[in-house]
Amino acid sequence: QVHLVESAGRLVQAGSSLRLSCAASGRTFSTYAMAWFRQAPGKERDFVAAVSGGSSSTYYADSVKGRFTLSRDNAKNTVYLQMNSLKPEDTAVYHCAAHYTAGAGVPITARDYSYWGQGTQVTVSS
Residue type, 94: Y
Asked if pLDDT for residue 27 goes beyond 90, the answer is no
In whole angstroms, how far apart are CA 9 and each of 69, 72, 73? 16, 18, 20
DSSP code of 105? -
Which of 3-12, 17-26, 59-68, 101-110 shows the lowest per-residue confidence on average (mean pLDDT)? 101-110
pLDDT at 18 over 70: yes
Burial (CB count within 10 angstroms: exposed 0-12, middle 13-18, buried 19+), residue 81:
buried
CB burial of residue 99 (10 Å; 0-12, 13-18, 19+):
buried
Backbone angles phi, psi at 110, to 5 degrees: -60, -35
Q: Residue 5 is which amino acid?
A: V
The three-point CA angle 9-36-66 to 5° equals 90
State pLDDT tens for residues 28-71: 999 999 999 999 999 999 999 999 998 889 999 999 999 999 99
